[in-house]
């Protein structure tokens, strides 16, 4: 099973700043089957990025994903107040998907 490790655990930033979140896999993620989800307090997760770099429907272009193999990055170019949340990466290749432990982006 692929283990995903996210860093940092918490990122303290201000609105307007750039956020860079990391997700490292214990082995290569096949097909770059790597997704990012956002979860706000009291809400269900929302799909942001899939295929390492493709934005899901309706996701603003300040969110971007990059990386391949074992190292992936989610970048939020300019933080908006509504972006403060927990972000999870997920590898969705076979045989089963696994999640990272999450990175909290806080003010």
Partner 1 sequence: EVQLVESGGGLVQPGRSLRLSCAASGFIFNDYTMYWVRQAPGKGLEWVSGIRGDSSDTAYADSVKGRFTISRDNAKNSLFLQMNSLRPEDTALYYCVRASRVAIRLFDYWGQGSLVTVSS
Interface residues with partner 1 (CB under 8 A)? 33, 35, 37, 43-47, 50-51, 56, 88, 90, 92-102
What is the closest distance, in whole angstroms, from the C-beta atom of residue 48 to partner 1 in the complex? 11
Distances (CA, A) of 21 to 9, 49, 86, 87: 9, 13, 11, 8
CB 101 within 8 A of CB 17: no
Phi, psi of 32 (to 5 degrees): 50, 40
Rg for the chain, CA atoms, rounded: 13
CB nearer to partner 1: give 14 or 22: 22
CB nearer to partner 1: give 37 or 72: 37
What is the closest distance, in whole angstroms, from the C-beta atom of residue 41 to partner 1 in the complex? 11
CB nearer to partner 1: give 13 or 56: 56
């Amino acid at each position: 099973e692929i283990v995903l490790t996210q860093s940092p655990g918490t990122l303290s930033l201000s609105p307007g700043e750039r956020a860079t979140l990391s997700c490292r896999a214990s082995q290569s993620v096949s097909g770059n089957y790597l997704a990012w989800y956002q979860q706000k307090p009291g809400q269900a997760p929302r799909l942001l990025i899939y295929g390492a770099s493709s934005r899901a429907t309706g996701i603003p272009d300040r969110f971007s994903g990059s990386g391949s193999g074992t190292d992936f990055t989610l970048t939020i170019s300019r933080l908006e107040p509504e972006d403060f949340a927990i972000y999870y990466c997920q590898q969705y290749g076979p045989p089963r998907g696994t999640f990272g432990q999450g990175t909290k982006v806080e003010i």
